[in-house]
Amino acid sequence: MNESEIRQNKITKQWVIYAPARRKRPKDFEKPEHEKVPVPLYDKECPFCPGNDHMITSIITEIKEGEDSWKIRVIPNKFPAVIPKNNIRRYNKGIYLAMGGYGHHEVVIETPYHNQEIAQMSLKEVELIIEVYHKRYRELIKEDGNMMVIIFRNHGLRAGTSLIHPHSQIISTGMVPGYIRWREEMALHYFDEWGRCVYCEVLAYEIKDKRRVIYENDLFVAFVPFAAEVPFEILIMPKMHKANFGDISDNEKSSFALALKNILERLRRKLNDPDYNYTINTSVRYRAEEPQLHWHLLIRPRLTTQAGFEIGSGIHINPSIPEEDARFLKHE
């Protein structure tokens, strides 16, 4: 692609502008060496490191290794965005609507080692993370007040991380935001018109086309979307149609862990460990059986910054071409 092109995301109907004139070489997206700070195996000031239990409030659940050590922990966030003791009742404040800040905010401490990222872990260790995600998701979504559960990971300062120790977060809320309702409604409109899941349509096309596929195993496919909003954006999608992350089998958990580890290894190796966010996008409560929804994981590296036009229009300008991003990541 040598000239500007505007592509539409088939799932969301959002438009993305591709600007080859602004294009960088893939190597130009690498994190500069001066931004990489050596991280020790253990930090005595880190509340997530072993031996620093006095710095955390409590432990929700953990996977032990022997009597005195642990492999993975889930704890309450010390500075939560929402808390379970608040009320979910809506109320008026003048002409405005408000509600109590109800919800759960948990931290998944992925490893006792201060410097061990998912990309550096063994497959078994990544499988444990997925197992804990799945367990906590199922526990939280069945609580009466919870309408939505989001599992996410912030990696690096540009992605919003505040503690270096490898961790993910889980937030549940008593309401569903308009953005997620809109995303679900777009999928519903497509299903009502065509009688098919739009995610399954996209997945089948990407597997056949192959140009944007980076990784594939028996149960999962990872690819750069046709209308990726940022450079090196990646979707990891299950081949089996399921709306709800909570419904996946043990085999799917293992295959999902394998796909996630592979993709994060590639990003670390090819882009020098870029900052990124990932989220597990799954159905909200009461829509877990609906045929138009298809859970997946979205990874967005933090390699560019939104500017005025993007903020004002809601349209992303991507200087990177999806097919070239996929070719770069796929090449060993």
Looking at the annotation, which residues are catalytic?
A: 167
197 labeled binding residue: no
Query: How many helices and strands, by DSSP H and E, does the chain display?
Result: 6, 15
CA separation for the pair 230, 246 (Å, rounded): 28
Strands of 110-173, DSSP E? 148-155, 167-173
Q: Which residues pair with 151 in a beta bridge?
A: 170, 280
294 labeled binding residue: no
**For the chain, first and last CA: distance in Å?**
23
Chain-centroid distance of CA 46 in Å reads: 24
Q: Which residues pair with 17 in a beta bridge?
A: 6, 317
Rg of the chain on CA atoms, in Å: 20
Q: Which structure tokens are listed for 322?
A: 């999806």
The residue count of the chain comes to: 332
Q: Is 176 helix (H, G, I), strand (E, B) or coil?
A: coil
49 labeled binding residue: yes
CA separation for the pair 295, 182 (Å, rounded): 15
Q: Check if the beta carbon of residue 191 is closer than 8 Å to that of residue 291.
A: yes
CA separation for the pair 284, 138 (Å, rounded): 12
CA separation for the pair 206, 10 (Å, rounded): 12
Annotated binding-site residue numbers for Zn(2+) = 46, 49, 114, 165
